Structure 1
Amino acid sequence: MSSLIPTLRYAARRRWTTSRRLADCASSGRVAQFVSRPTTTCPAAQRRCTATTSSTPKPPILPAEAIVEDSQPEIYRPPTTGLLARVPSSWVPYGELIRLDKPAGTYYLYFPCLFGTLLAAPYATPLASPFTVLYTSSLFFAGAIIMRGAGCTINDLWDRNLDPHVTRTRLRPIARGAISVQQAIAFLGAQLLAGLAVLLQFPSQCFFYATPSLLLVALYPLAKRVTNYPQFVLGLTFSWGAFLGFPALSVDLLADTPALISAACLYGSCIAWTLVYDMIYAFQDIRDDPKAGIKSIALAQQANAKNFLMAASAVQVGLLVGAGASLGVGPVYYFLTCGGAAATLDYMIREVNLESVEDCAEWFRKGAWITGGAISVGLFVEYLVQYFDLFGDQSRKREAMKA
Structure 2
Amino acid sequence: MASFPRTLRLTTCLPRQSGLGYTSIQLQAARTKWKASSSLPRADISIPPRLRTATTTQRRWAATDNRTQITPPSSNPDEIPPATYSPPTTGVISRLPPSWIAYAELIRLDKPAGTYYLFLPCLFSTLLAASLATPITSPLTVLSTGALFFAGALVMRGAGCTINDLWDRNLDPHVERTRLRPIARGAITVNRAIPFLGLQLFTGLAILLQFPSQCFFYATPSLVLVTLYPLAKRITTYPQFVLGLTFSWGAIMGFPALGIDLLTNTSALASAACLYGSCVAWTLIYDMIYAYQDIRDDAKVGILSIARTHEANAKQFLAAVSAVQVGLLAGAGYFAEAGMVYYFLACGGAGATLDHMIREVKLDDVADCASWFRRGAWATGGVISGGMFLDCLANYFGVYGPKKNVAAEGDVVAVE
Do these two structures clear the TM 0.5 threshold for a shared fold by scoring above it?
Answer: yes
Given that residues 121 and 383 in structure 1 are in contact (C-alpha distance below 8 angstroms), is that contact kept between their aligned partners in structure 2? yes
Aligned residue identity for 1:104: A
2:313 aligned with 1:294:
no
TM-aligned CA deviation for residue 391 of structure 1: 2.6
Structure having the higher helix fraction is 1
1:113 equivalenced with 2:159 (yes/no): no
Residue aligned with 2:85, SS: coil
Aligned length: 337
> How far, CA to CA, are the matches of 1:398 and 1:154 in structure 2?
40
1:169 aligns with 2:178: yes
Distance across 2 between alignment mates of 1:156 and 1:177: 12
Q: Select which of 118, 122, 131 maps to 2:140.
A: 131
Flag the 1:164–1:325 CA change in 2: closer, same or farther, 3 A: same
Is the counterpart of residue 335 in structure 1 residue 344 in structure 2?
A: yes
Shift of 1:274: 0.1
Q: Distance in 1 between matches of 2:208 and 2:409?
A: 33
* Residue pair 1:385, 1:391 contacting (<8 A) in 2 also: yes
Paired letter, 2:222: S
User: Pick from 363, 373, 378: which aligns with 2:387?
Assistant: 378
- Kept in 2, the 8 Å contact 1:328–1:397? The answer is no
Q: Give the direction of change, closer, same or farther, for the CA distance of 1:285–1:387 in structure 2 (3 Å limit).
A: same
Correspondence list, 1:42-191, <5 A: 72-191=81-200
Alpha-carbon displacement from aligned partner over 1:1-48 (angstroms, at most 9, x marks no partner): xxxxxxxxxxxxxxxxxxxxxxxxxxx9xxxxxxxxxxxxxxxxxxxx
- Equivalent residue letter for 1:239: S
CA distance in 2, matches of 1:368, 1:159: 25
Which of 385, 388, 399 aligns to 2:397? It is: 388
Look up the equivalent residue of 2:304 and give its one-letter code: K
Say whether the 8 Å CA contact 2:132–2:405 is kept in structure 1: no
Q: Are residues 96 and 277 of structure 1, via their aligned partners in 2, closer, same or farther at CA, if it must alter by over 3 Å? A: same
Cα deviation digits, residues 130-157 of structure 1 (max 9, x gap): 2211110000000000000000000000
- Structure 1 unaligned runs (5+)? 1-27, 29-68
Contact 2:134 2:407 in 1 (8 A): no
Amino acid at match of 1:345: L
1:348 to 357, 360, 373: 357
Q: Which amino acid aligns with 2:148?
A: L
Output the CA distance in 1 between the equivalents of 2:208 and 2:108.
21
Q: Percent identity?
A: 70
Contact 1:228 1:297 in 2 (8 A): yes
Query: Which of 362, 376, 388 is the aligned partner of 1:367?
Result: 376
**Correspondence 1:281 to 2:290:** yes
- CA–CA distance in structure 2, aligned partners of residues 87 and 339 of structure 1: 42
Give CA deviations for 1:61-88 in whole Å, capped at 9, x if unaligned: xxxxxxxx98641101110100111000
Please tell me the root mean square deviation across aligned C-alpha atoms, in Å: 1.9
Aligned CA distance change for structure 1 residues 373 and 89 (closer, same or farther; 3 Å)? same
Q: Which amino acid aligns with 2:314?
A: A
- The 3-state SS of whatever aligns with 1:253 is coil
> What residue in structure 1 maps to residue 323 of structure 2?
314
- The CA distance in 1 between the partners of 2:380 and 2:354, in whole Å, is 7
**Residue matched to 2:235:** 226
Distance (whole Å) between structure 1 residues aligned to residue 176 and residue 396 of structure 2: 50
Say if 1:82 and 1:402 are closer, same or farther in 2 by CA, change over 3 A: farther
- For residues 161-182 of structure 1, what are the alpha-carbon distances to aligned partners after superposition, in whole Å with 9 as ceiling and x for unaligned? 0000100000100000000001
Distance in 2 separating the partners of 1:396 and 1:246: 15
Find the structure with the greater CA-based Rg: 1
In structure 1, what is the equivalent of residue 249 of structure 2?
A: 240
Q: Which letter does structure 1 place at the counterpart of 2:125?
A: G
Alpha-carbon separation, structure 2, partners of 1:392 and 1:283: 48
SS for the counterpart of 1:254 is: coil
Question: Deviation string for 1:257-283 (max 9, x for gaps)?
Answer: 000000000000000000000000000
Q: What TM-score results when the alignment is normalised by the length of structure 2?
A: 0.79
| Aligned equivalent of 1:53 | none
Find the aligned partners of 1:171 and 1:321 in 2 and give their Cα distance. 42
Q: Deviations over 1:95-122 (max 9, x none)?
A: 0000000000000000000000000011
Match of 1:195 in 2: 204
Distance in 1 separating the partners of 2:403 and 2:299: 55
Q: C-alpha distance in 2, partners of 1:183/1:120?
A: 40
For 2:400 and 2:208, locate their aligned partners in 1 and report how far apart those are by CA, in whole Å. Answer: 36
Report the CA distance between 1:332 and its aligned residue. Answer: 0.9
Cα shift at 1:395: 3.6
CA distance in 1, matches of 2:263, 2:133: 14
In structure 2, C-alpha distance between the alignment counterparts of 1:212 and 1:201, rounded to whole Å: 18
